[in-house]
Amino acid sequence: MTIEEMVPICDKLDAVGFYSMEIWGGATFDSCLRFLNEDPWERLRTLRKHLPNTKLQMLLRGQNILGYKHYSDDVVTEFIKRAIANGLDIIRIFDALNDIRNMETAFKVVKSEGAHIQGAVCYTISPVHTHDAFVKMAQEMEQMGADSICIKDMAGLISPYEAFALIKAIKEVVSIPLQLHCHFTSGMGMMAYLKAVEAGVDVVDTAISSLALQTSQPAVEPLVETLRGTPYDTGLDLKLAYEISAYFRKVRENHKEMESNVQDIDTRVLTYQIPGGMLS
């Protein structure tokens, strides 16, 4: 998606009332350079200008920054300083191995620059990736200075009842906000969000419906409707969300040749565990 396709809808996105918008980091930096011939830094500055009322966040791969290898501390430091100076409010930091030593430098710089540190637990299923290990990691990240914690379920593996149990357990031992990020690959994401809400999660990550589901995130609109009139009512403006969805449905048509052929729910992901971004 080009920056020209994003700017016209920014005023409506800015008015919905989202907690934050993830607009940078992860694979977007790479995509700007590799596919779009765009300057990712210019994109960040442009979106900051057109989203004045919404907190902006990025995904940072810890010591890997936005690449696939480790960078030296001075590179990590300067990159984060420039990212914050160019408009980011929240930096979600994770390490692919859940090794918090690879997150320490990034934590220190984000803290010194006055931005919000969100420490992320990469959720997966294996003999060593246990419920207790995730709870311990969340505690350690709070002690390291995290301002909030994200459970990052990038392959869509978390079941609704495990989401409930894990959120409950982490909320008992940390005092900072807790966020849940799921992909819809397995089809459990929306149910996991509902149970997470009941367990006391503070924020969940969604996508607008025309760009949601499949290997993306659960859709925002049905969740807002589900919670309407309950103690968990989001208060988000669905009229605007419908307009935003219609806009992005047209934008999606512009990129049909880039569409993945992963169109359906696939609970086999619980076995092969490939993240949504990698599948697509």
What is the phi/psi pair of residue 67, to 5°?
-110, -160
Closest CA to 24 of 10, 41, 8, 12: 41
- What residues have CB less than 8 Å from 272, skipping those under 6 apart? none
> What pLDDT does residue 257 have?
87
How is the chain split into domains, by residue range? Answer: 7-122
Q: In the predicted model, is pLDDT for residue 21 greater than 80?
A: yes
* Residues 6+ away with beta carbon under 8 Å from 256: none
> Which position has the higher pLDDT, 51 or 271?
51
The predicted model gives 249-271 an average pLDDT of 86
| Bridge partners, 22 (sequence order) | 57
Q: What is the pLDDT of residue 200?
A: 98
Residue 101 burial (CB count, 10 A): 10
Predicted pLDDT at 267: 87
Model pLDDT for residues 30-51, shown as the tens digit of each residue:
999 999 999 999 999 999 999 9
pLDDT of residue 278: 79
Amino acid in position 142: E
Model confidence at 268, in pLDDT bands (50, 70, 90)? confident
Angle between helices 160-173 and 131-144 (to 10 degrees): 40
What pLDDT score was predicted for residue 55?
98
* pLDDT above 80 (res 121): yes
Residue 108 pLDDT = 98
CA separation, residue 65 to residues 71, 92, 96, 271 (Å): 7, 11, 11, 28
* pLDDT tens-digit readout, 177-205: 999 999 999 999 999 999 999 999 999 99
Give the per-residue pLDDT at 142.
98
pLDDT of res. 223:
97
Reduced to 3 states (helix: H, G, I; strand: E, B; else coil), residue 174 is coil
Q: Is the pLDDT of residue 266 over 80?
A: yes
User: CB–CB of 153/183 below 8 Å?
Assistant: yes
Tokens found for residue 257: 């040749």
The length of the chain is: 280
Q: What is the mean pLDDT of the chain?
A: 95
For the segment 133-179, what is each residue's pLDDT rounded down to a tens digit?
A: 999 999 999 999 999 999 999 999 999 999 999 999 999 999 999 99
User: Is the pLDDT score of 261 beyond 80?
Assistant: no
Say if residue 210's pLDDT is above 80: yes
Q: How far apart are CA 147 and CA 144, in angstroms?
A: 10
Assess whether pLDDT exceeds 90 at residue 280: no
Burial of 106 per CB tally in 10 Å (0-12, 13-18, 19+): buried
Taking the C-alpha atoms of residue 214 and residue 277, their distance in angstroms, rounded to an integer, is 11
134 three-class SS: helix
For 263, the token pair is: 């169109």
Give me Rg for the CA atoms of the chain.
Answer: 18
Residue 253 is predicted with a pLDDT of: 95
Residue 119 has pLDDT above 90, yes or no: yes
Indicate the pLDDT class of residue 211, thresholds 50, 70 and 90: very high
Helix (H, G, I), strand (E, B) or coil at 179: strand
CATH class of 7-122: alpha beta
pLDDT at 190: 97
* Alpha-carbon distances, residue 252 vs 38, 257, 262 (angstroms): 19, 10, 15
User: Three-state DSSP class for 149?
Assistant: strand
